[in-house]
Amino acid sequence: MKSRLFALFITVLLFSCKNDTKPNAQVFQTSDLNDANTVLLEAVMEDAFTPPVASRIYAYAYLAHYTTLQSMHQDSLAEITTKINGLEDFKISKRDDVNPELASLLAFSTIGKKLIYSEHFFEDLTDSLKTKAARLGLSELAIKNSEDYALEVSKQISNWIDKDMYSETRTYPRFTSTKQPENWRETPPDYATGLEPHWDKLRPMVIDSANIFKYKPLPTYSTDENSDFYKMVYQVYEAVNNKTGDTEKTAWFWDCNPIMTVHKGHMVTTIHKFTPPGHWLNIINQISSKENSHYYTTTKAYTLTSMAMFDAIIAAWHVKYKTDLVRPVTFIQENIDPEWTPVLQTPPFPEYTSGHSATSASAAEVLSSIYGKDYSFTDNTQLRFGLEQRTFNSFREAANQVNMSRFYGGIHYMQGVEEGARQGREIANLIMKKLQ
């Protein structure tokens, strides 16, 4: 009898303690933020968003999460809204009856849902977060207050998002190639029109304008075998013709083509993969899990990296459509070898500068500042796509491999990847300096 009474007492005590969890107690951990990141990546991949559009979705979702969390942890995270273009008037009142991590994750989910088509990903995420909050002992009132707080932040962020010129650029004219030999023209196998020719009209997150980068001038177009331009193209031709197992694997590891088409006769199928910025966010997921990184550190890594990649892509796209440079496959098939094909599918936009190089260099700079310049890590992102995992001695080493992957893949000139990388580094450093 006494043992039964004791067991009943323990049960009541545990139940009471569970319901006594303070609203501001940290019941959500880095693993929950990483799970939310996985939902974001999967939703973007499901909807097959292009790299520029994907970068916008990532950056805005993480900004909503960061600003919500920072408003209640001002001693742990730096205030950045006053340094974000157009968000200087953001205001939110700190409350003690809200769970910071739950509210932040709910804001992340709300903005994520706003920006994609497959809304069920974030509807399920929101439901799972609230269910887990109750299971971890947060009261119904604390959960409701956290949800209201997230909606308050999300409403302001959403209104700000709507003014970034994205909707307007959906109505602008499609890009028409000049058909001039030096300019970009539609490339095989899909011969798709130029992707996002007006992306540089979007409002950057932190940099002052899309044309902030001073790129190295290109060699003058020429079909003369002794010209610098011809030699630049011939480098790509030789790299593909002399490819090895290692160079081909490197090209495919960093392909990150979100809509790869496979042509078999009259049938065309598509394969969805992570975008370049999505690949880097998945690297953060792996690193923060391995290191059991603090929630604040992981928040900073996701947010600053996604912001840097967003701005780097805007700047890269500005240069792309300003220089309007012919892709290797076009020049080579017309002037060197009509049967030549690159290792990778050539993406449908001008060559210079390399967007993947700019994206990766910007991510590498931010992550080096957080985890260290000589941080070694293993990336298993591509295992699900039938490729190997790779280990790197630093983030910059990984970014440098991205440069070579585009060259080995036959879709970029060496100058395109080198200048893209420099562009990404400079923009990331500008952003970090401004935010600090």
Total domains in the chain come to 2
Note the pLDDT tens digit of each residue in 336-358.
Answer: 999 999 999 999 999 999 999 99
Domain identity same for 196 and 344: yes
Helices (H), 47-99: 51-72
Domain identity same for 85 and 192: no
- Tell me the mean pLDDT in the region 301-324: 98
Domain identity same for 426 and 294: yes
Domain identity same for 182 and 210: yes
pLDDT at position 436: 81
Domain identity same for 281 and 396: yes
pLDDT at position 270: 62
In a domain, 172, yes or no: no
Residue 257 · residue 51 · CB < 8 Å: no
Residue 408 · residue 343 · CB < 8 Å: yes
The answer to whether residue 53 scores a pLDDT higher than 90 is yes
In a domain, 1, yes or no: no
The confidence band for 3, taking pLDDT boundaries of 50, 70 and 90, is very low
In a domain, 14, yes or no: no
* Range(s) of the domain holding residue 27: 20-164
Strand partners for 276: none
Which of these three, 137, 164, 191, is where a domain ends? 164
Domain identity same for 155 and 212: no
pLDDT, the chain, mean:
93
In a domain, 345, yes or no: yes
CA distances from 56 to 49, 224, 368 (A): 10, 42, 22
Domain identity same for 50 and 136: yes
The answer to whether residue 108 scores a pLDDT higher than 70 is yes
Domain identity same for 191 and 92: no
Domain identity same for 322 and 410: yes
Q: Alpha-carbon distance 199 to 166, whole Å?
A: 8
Domain identity same for 277 and 356: yes
Q: Report which of 107, 133, 125, 118 is spatially closest to residue 28, judged by C-alpha positions.
A: 133
In a domain, 284, yes or no: yes
Domain identity same for 263 and 349: yes
In a domain, 182, yes or no: yes
Note the pLDDT tens digit of each residue in 174-223.
Answer: 998 999 999 999 999 989 999 999 999 999 999 999 999 999 999 999 99
pLDDT at position 428: 98
The DSSP-derived string for 234-280 is: HHHHHHHHT--HHHHHHHHHT---TTEEEEETTEEEEE----HHHHH
pLDDT at position 9: 39
In a domain, 171, yes or no: no
In a domain, 169, yes or no: no
The enclosing domain of 416 has a CATH number of 1.10.606.20
Domain identity same for 273 and 305: yes
Q: Report which of 34, 59, 43, 44 is spatially closest to residue 309, judged by C-alpha positions.
A: 59
